[in-house]
A = this chain, B = another copy of it.
Amino acid sequence: MNVQNVLKEKQKIINEHLSALLVSDSPSHHTLYQAMNYSLLAGGKRIRPTLFLLVLDMLGVNSSLYLDIACAIECIHTYSLIHDDLPCMDNDDYRRGRLTNHKVFGPAMATLAGDGLLTYAFELLTSGSQISPIKQSRLVYILAKAAGPSGMVGGQAQDIESENRKQTVEELKFMDSCKTGCMLTSPVDMASVLADCEKTEYDALHSFSVHLGLLFQITDDLLDATSSLETMGKKAGQDEKLDKSTYVSELGIDGARQMAEKEASAAVEALNIFGEKAWALQGLIPYILNRKK
């Protein structure tokens, strides 16, 4: 089986599970659930939950038992997109190839849809009975820490404050490790916890995910600089418009590409201790390096 097919299969499993998840408990909450599902079921690459499932597979754990956890990760990611797109934030009209949440449901309902998805993720993490409480509690901590003020929300705040201000590559790296990185390392850490990894395995996987996160952000900057709305499903050229420091503005397109390739190699290397078992995770690396959206 090649990697493209594995990724497609995982996307399909995740999409199916997501679509059965949020069912309104009352007619009075109908619009809220519609708004949450609108963004949650809008497609997207599902990289974060896929990463989580692929690590479990590699570690010999039956990943189909942990689809709720995979979906909780995607709920957090989707909430962050809804809030990022709000008029008071990036004010974007398109996301994943269709109108943003607030363009359809208005900014008040979109704010609540984001709040709802974020909160629901923690309900999901603690509602099953097949995960031991000690692991449930650990998963909540890892995900909350990654998504919270010292993680994703912190990076987002730094991003807002950095508009129209030069940042060094070191500052960018810190910002991105919070803004994008934490939500790529946390799915890997969560899988390691569920699989009862030994420290060397945990560390190797964590290192892989750190490099993958950085790779993801550099390719994001490259796409923003070189792609179009049609290809990406969201507006391109935003970084330059906002005069944001990015890997492209600081290193040039060629410099950013070189850095991306260096991170990709480091990610591959980190997986070496797993040998051939890591083939699917290895395959994810060129998929992100060469992505068009």
The residue from B33, B111, B144 contacting A122, defined by CB atoms under 8 A apart = B144
Which residues of B sit under 8 angstroms from A137, Cβ to Cβ?
Answer: 126, 133, 136-137, 140
Which residues of B sit under 8 angstroms from A136, Cβ to Cβ?
Answer: 133, 137, 140
Minimum CB distance partner of A174 in chain B: B28
- A137-B141 Cα distance, complex, nearest whole Å: 10
Q: Shortest CB–CB separation between residue A142 and chain B, in angstroms? A: 9
Q: Shortest CB–CB separation between residue A64 and chain B, in angstroms? A: 22
Q: A149 touching B108 by the CB < 8 A rule?
A: no
Known A-B contacts: A83-B115, A88-B88, A117-B149. Give 6 more (CB < 8 A): A26-B154, A31-B157, A32-B158, A36-B149, A118-B119, A133-B136
Q: A175 touching B140 by the CB < 8 A rule?
A: no
- A169-B109 Cα distance, complex, nearest whole Å: 24
A89 within 8 Å of B by Cβ?
yes
13 chain-A/chain-B pairs, Cβ below 8 angstroms = A36-B149, A83-B115, A88-B108, A89-B111, A109-B160, A112-B157, A118-B118, A118-B119, A119-B148, A122-B141, A122-B148, A132-B133, A140-B140
A147 within 8 Å of B by Cβ?
yes
Which residues of B sit under 8 angstroms from A107, Cβ to Cβ?
Answer: 88
The residue from B26, B86, B148 contacting A116, defined by CB atoms under 8 A apart = B148
- A244-B160 Cα distance, complex, nearest whole Å: 36
A20 within 8 Å of B by Cβ?
no
- A83-B22 Cα distance, complex, nearest whole Å: 22
Which residues of B sit under 8 angstroms from A22, Cβ to Cβ?
Answer: 149
Chain A contact residues: helix, strand, loop or mixed? helix
Residues 133-156 of A, flagged 1 when their CB comes within 8 A of B and 0 if not, give 110111011011101111001101
A: number of interface residues (CB 8 Å): 61
Minimum CB distance partner of A91 in chain B: B108
Q: Shortest CB–CB separation between residue A146 and chain B, in angstroms? A: 9
Which residues of B sit under 8 angstroms from A116, Cβ to Cβ?
Answer: 148-149, 153-154, 157
- A175-B107 Cα distance, complex, nearest whole Å: 21
- A192-B109 Cα distance, complex, nearest whole Å: 34
Minimum CB distance partner of A35 in chain B: B157
- A133-B137 Cα distance, complex, nearest whole Å: 6
Which residues of B sit under 8 angstroms from A86, Cβ to Cβ?
Answer: 88, 111
Minimum CB distance partner of A126 in chain B: B141
A190 within 8 Å of B by Cβ?
no
